Homo-oligomer: A and B are copies of this chain.
């Protein structure tokens, strides 16, 4: 076959000047149909959800030649690009040469043309990126990652890699994965019967991080504005459509930002990402909307088009109590001090305000030790961004900058000072007001793609009893 530079399908479709040119495309066969005169191959190369139609004249190619060209086969085609006669596409390729790179035996290839359930596709996660649904989801996933880096880079934030393996356990025990190189068949113990970690790789007990925030704060107190974007881990035995043992988090942290600026940053940030999706992922979004969620685009535009309500938790509780008094039923009880459930968050967003809501100033008992304490002695300067359909999408706070208050609160909440002496040092030396928040990347993707199971927005989900591929 003559050496002609291969062109991606997305570029073929975006370049009108290619019409009537001879071009080379390569990709995977999604389907082949036709009659005894002509065969139509739908070719997809992953660059776009759209297939390029290949027209094969059966007076030129024998049916025998086309026999291996079945769903899933990989082919290279040289031909002339022409304006399409049929409907559903603007251009098509009149095949001149067809080379088969790899066949896909129809008797065993798991992805035939017919639709498969998402559950089934999860079992063949190594092949599911070849489907329309997962091609769309993963192209959107890429775009959201790029939007995130772009947003922060444009604003002078520095991307900061916090460690994955850590010897600190600041969120409390029991939910972390242990990391070790010890021979589990020959564990050394000291006189008291405790495992001797001095010979473990890191010389002490080590785990996978649950959050990069504390290290991110160190960086913010030096570089000013930073963000993390990396994997985090929770060993919760939760087999639900909302939990993953391994997921990616984005955690910006900004020196000198108080909670108002933190709220504005969160609102600007999430709107930027969603606008990016609307601008850059139109075909994929339209496909997902048509297949899974008719209200997807409406919901994305709802977020873009509304200013987020800012509301103290206490007022949120009053609104919910008033609703209950008027007969609104909730599964979980409402009272000051309660951790809001998704149904409460969604009531505020979807029914009461009809706008995204940022709830602030939560009771200190239900929030972390590092949040800035308000003067009322009861609440902390936390903020949760609440969205339609999914409830909380972002959680953050202004951080406690006072060494004394932070140390006292850590003690009260049982966080050992020996584990966070380095964190406390930022308050001992040149402390300043600062704020940040965390966004679960897959939570964002659920919202943007309209998918309902978090296992379907990450390539290889890790959940209890599952670490395949």
Contacts and interface: CB of A to CB of B under 8 A. Distances in A.
A111 to B, nearest CB: 8
Interface string A151-179: 00100101111111111100000000111
A138 B221 CA distance: 13
A427 interface: yes
A185 interface: yes
10 contacts: A46-B158, A46-B255, A72-B429, A142-B159, A163-B246, A166-B469, A184-B187, A202-B462, A206-B467, A422-B469
**Residue of A46, A160, A255 with most chain B CB atoms under a 10 A cut-off:** A46
B126 A425 contact: yes
Contact of A231 (B145, B164, B422, B425): B164
A24 to B, nearest CB: 10
B126 A218 contact: yes
A74 interface: yes
A308 B261 CA distance: 48
Contacts of A224: 8, 27, 45-47
Contacts of A13: none
A237 B182 CA distance: 13
A2 to B, nearest CB: 15
A208 B179 contact: yes
A423 B156 CA distance: 41
Contacts of A431: 74, 101-102
Given A139-B158, A167-B468, A185-B195, 5 more contacts: A103-B430, A104-B430, A165-B246, A184-B195, A202-B467
A321 interface: no
B26 A469 contact: no
Nearest to A403: B102
A362 to B, nearest CB: 25
Interface stretch (A127-135, A295-303, A373-381, A389-397): A127-135
Interface of A: 6, 8, 10-11, 26-29, 45-47, 72-74, 76, 101-105, 108-111, 126-127, 129-130, 134-135, 138-139, 141-142, 145-146, 149, 153, 156, 158-168, 177-181, 184-185, 187, 195, 201-204, 206, 208, 215, 218-219, 221-225, 230-231, 233, 235, 237, 245-246, 248, 255-256, 401, 422-423, 425-433, 458-460, 462, 464-469
A466 B26 contact: no
A168 B460 CA distance: 13
Contacts of A401: 101-102
Given A167-B468, A427-B102, A215 B462 contact: no
A226 to B, nearest CB: 8
A469 B164 contact: no
Given A230-B231, A430-B72, A430-B104, A218 B129 contact: yes
A430 B138 contact: no
A319 B166 CA distance: 46
A458 B161 contact: yes
Nearest to A111: B429
